[in-house]
Amino acid sequence: MVLLLTLACSEYGFVPDQDVLTPGEDAGFEPDPYEPTAGCETFDSGWTWAASDALWESDDPADADGVAFYDVDYADALGSISLPDAHQVPPGADRAYRAVVPIEAVPGVLVDIQSDDGLWLWVNGEEVGHWGGDWQTEGCVNDEANCLEYVTVDPIDITPYLVDGDNIIAARVSNAIEGSWFDLVPTCVD
């Protein structure tokens, strides 16, 4: 039918524009195959953590060049641990925690934190916040475990601090009295 119409039109001096398609013609359009983008389906929440030995002073641990443990350029090695880290810090001491987390184009990451006592959190060297007690002051975070004082903290959005590639997540937890505890649970959000 299209061939007959084309022949009839050309006989009277009308030549259809070859670039204009009429319904039913094959335009040769091939949709791109579906490729899932990086996001929550590729997000790995099984972060590998390392921790310092007991810290007996308020200064943050630093490497030989004076670089703090939460900085991306920190060079000292910390001992491997699993979270939650329970009852490993003696009363009157602190502990520093650090994870190197590869993240590629994740829409958003929330972290749920829990500590006995005060907790400081950094992402890529930027301080995200401090919750609970100060250095060697009681004040648990999201945990009533025998604490006289505690605060409830909603999950924290750390997305603005993240970069594509390796990210440094660091925390320091102060254990004023018995019963040390630290946990950080990441969740990806679309």
* CATH number of the domain that residue 92 is part of: 2.60.120.260
Place of tokens 């590869």: 102
Q: How many domains does the chain contain in total?
A: 1
Q: What are phi and psi of 40, to 5 degrees?
A: -65, -30
Q: What is the pTM of this model?
A: 0.76
Report residue 37 CA to chain centroid gap.
Answer: 17
Q: Please state, in angstroms and as integers, the Cα–Cα distance from residue 93 to each residue in 19, 139, 157, 172, 175, following that order.
A: 77, 14, 28, 11, 6
Q: Is residue 13 part of a domain?
A: no
Going residue by residue through the chain (190 aa), what tens digit of pLDDT does each one get? 444 444 444 455 555 555 554 555 655 555 454 344 556 887 888 899 999 999 999 899 999 999 999 999 999 989 999 999 988 889 999 999 999 999 888 779 999 998 888 899 999 999 999 998 777 777 788 875 667 777 888 999 999 999 999 999 999 999 888 788 899 999 998 7
Question: Does residue 108 lie within any of the structural domains?
Answer: yes
- CA-based nearest residue to 162, from 129, 114, 122: 122
Residue 24 lies in a domain: no
Q: Is residue 15 part of a domain?
A: no
For residue 62, the 8-state DSSP code is B
Q: Is residue 4, in this structure, part of any structural domain at all?
A: no
Whether residue 105 is contained in a domain is answered as: yes
Enclosing H/E stretch for 150: strand 150-151
How far is residue 40's CA from residue 2's CA, in Å, rounded to a whole number? Answer: 49
Nearest to 184 by CA among 109, 103, 106: 109
Give dist(CA 52, CA 98) in Å, integer.
9
Q: For residue 9, is it within any domain? A: no
Residue span of the structural domain in which 147 resides: 40-188
